[in-house]
Amino acid sequence: MDVRLVFGPLSPAAELEAFLAGRTGDGAVVSFTGLARGTSRDGSTVAALTLDHYPGMTERSMRDIAEAAAARFQVEDLIVAHRCGEITPGETIVFVATASPHRRTAFEAADYLMDRLKTEAAFWKRETGPTGARWIEPVDEDRAALARWKDKTP
Amino acid sequence: MTRILYFGRVAEKLGTEGALELPAEGLTLREIRRRLADQDEVAADALIRSDVRASVDQVIAGEDALARPDQEIAFFSIFSGG
């Protein structure tokens, strides 16, 4: 398991290549790349996204989520790499990959990881646009996505 | 003085840290919050909010939790998520 807070650029291609290297036991690897969007929910332009973190607490929140995914699904390995600091549109914010003998488990574990990271990871996020900076908090859609996992066993 | 850490909307208003004199036996988070808020109006506005949580030694704690001067105390707005 590789859980990392990343302070500079994050390359999903390099991460995936490293995750795949030498992997012979698993038949399925699923990866997800989250990119910073250039437009806000209301359609306004976003110049940059800034993610603040609490050193120690943020890493632990990511690790807790990763460990819960590993315990819940039959994944052999997983990676969670999440950026903090200032991120410009088009850049990768988060990269997640899961490896499993079977594809369904790998898909589900990656989906679960992202739903929990989007709502529960200890970050404070703000968008900077033409009218200044604005804090971003989880929306109902994110909470509904998370709730899907509450009463369901894989 | 004990260092108090701020994150998110709280840090936007108060900066990334503040300070408070704590007795050796500690104070509850409720009392720490009240004393910080008493320092000025900006602090009161930033801290006396139901969506501002607190942690002791990096573990989110309720208002009745006790924090001593040698512990790491933080106040922050709700997580944005990643």
Provide the domain limits for residue B66.
2-77
The tokens describing A5, both together, are 């807070």
Q: What is the CATH number of the domain that holds B39?
A: 3.10.20.30
pLDDT digits (tens, 9 = 90+) for A15-56: 999 999 999 989 999 999 999 999 988 888 999 999 999 999
> Cβ–Cβ of A124/B9 closer than 8 Å?
yes
Q: In sequence order, what are the residues at sequence separation of 6 or more whose Cβ sits closer than 8 angstroms to the Cβ of residue A84?
A: A5, A6, A7, A51, A52, A53, A58, A123
**Residue B82 in domain:** no
The hierarchical CATH code for the domain A2-130 is 3.90.1170.40
In whole angstroms, what is the distance from residue A69 CA to residue A78 CA?
9
Give B61's contacts in chain A (Cβ within 8 Å): none
pLDDT number for residue A154: 47
Question: Could you give the number of structural domains in chain B?
Answer: 1
Give B11's contacts in chain A (Cβ within 8 Å): 52, 124
In whole angstroms, what is the distance from residue B14 CA to residue B21 CA?
17
What is the average pLDDT value for chain B, to the nearest integer?
A: 96
ipTM of the complex: 0.93
Q: What is the pTM of this model?
A: 0.92
Domain map (residue ranges) of chain A: 2-130
Helix axes A103-120, A57-72, angle to 10 degrees: 150
**Residue B33 in domain:** yes
- For the cut 80, the answer to whether the pLDDT of residue B5 exceeds it is yes
- pLDDT class for A106, splitting at 50, 70, 90? very high
> Cβ–Cβ of A137/B11 closer than 8 Å?
no
pLDDT number for residue A151: 65
**Residue B59 in domain:** yes
- For the cut 70, the answer to whether the pLDDT of residue B25 exceeds it is yes
